[in-house]
Amino acid sequence: MKNNFIADVQWPPQNPVDLFHPEHVLKICAPMVRYSKLAFRTLVRKYGCDLCYTPMIVAADFVKSVKARDSEFTTNRGDRPLIVQFAAKEAHTLANASCLVSPFADGVDLNCGCPQRWALSEGYGACLINKPDLVQDMVRQVRNQVENPSFSVSIKIRIHDDITRTVDLCQKAQAAGVSWITVHGRSIDERHQPVHYEEIKIIKESLSIPVVANGDIRNLKEAENVCDMTGADGIMVARGLLANPAMFAGYEETPLECIQDWVDLALRHGTPFTCLHHHLMYMMERIASKHEKRIFNVLSSTSAVLDYLKEHYGL
């Protein structure tokens, strides 16, 4: 299944920018550490997801290590359109990593939003929103080095307390040739506070490229409301899709068919038990009783999970 660097799996590239359309809000699966891997991307695509991101990959490790490339990036022919998200702090490193994945993906995204302490201490993630000139240079170097003109270069950001600084960052990125910008409507220090959707609207109105809204979108109705509030061209969802991978197809909670699809895909892709189990714990959060969850969440093997699903849900 790990065929990501074999020449014969190359296929005609797509231009993700063409997916944005005035009459269609783009539905996007966010980059999620450990979770938005190939099997899960395949699942959400079946239920109405238009575009998927890989988990964040540290570009420097990816460039230096074949082992890192094999473990961090796996794809196949059906995994399109696909954006590879990188954590990077040097333009040439991001450009080199982008060249490596360009035959096998449709674009790259620079993470300028991760607020975790380790990322900030290493110069990655959200600290880049305070370095607009560096972000500009990184976008330009990817543009200059990747030969495919349809290959997209996007950034995912958090906002400043002073929105004028965020607008300046976005306009500089736009001038450098960024394809679109995803805005998580919280600052670096905010975790569970309400999302500042009005700030996303200000950013959208200041740019001529697509803007994607991100933050606390748990169902299709909320996605529609966020688009109405912000004018965003797309919505990106993380935890909402973990809880209900069929969200974009209009389901209020995970249907049993989707749970069966996940089990089938996870087994087919050789997904480790911990990952298979964790996804199911998220999916069953709204449909299982407290008693059922107490039992299910401590199961310790794939066979035990399969037996439980068969006994309680007929799967």
Band of the pLDDT at 15, cuts 50, 70, 90? confident
pLDDT of residue 195: 95
Residue 12, pLDDT > 70, answer: no
What pLDDT digit, counting tens, does each position of 145-173 carry? 999 999 999 999 999 999 999 999 999 99
Torsion angle of alpha carbons 193, 28, 249, 283, nearest 10°? -60
CATH 3.50.50.60 corresponds to the domain 7-249: no
Residue 234, pLDDT > 60, answer: yes
CB count within 10 Å of CB 171 equals 17
Residue 11, pLDDT > 90, answer: no
What pLDDT digit, counting tens, does each position of 190-221 carry? 988 999 999 999 999 999 999 999 999 999 99
More confident residue, 234 or 9: 234
What pLDDT digit, counting tens, does each position of 76-87 carry? 999 999 999 999
pLDDT of residue 186: 96
Contact 204, 231 (CB under 8 A): yes
As annotated, the active-site residues are 114
* Distance between CA atoms of residues 202 and 182, nearest Å: 13
Q: List the one residue out of 49, 55, 230, 253 whose CA is nearest residue 156.
A: 55
Residue 3, pLDDT > 50, answer: no
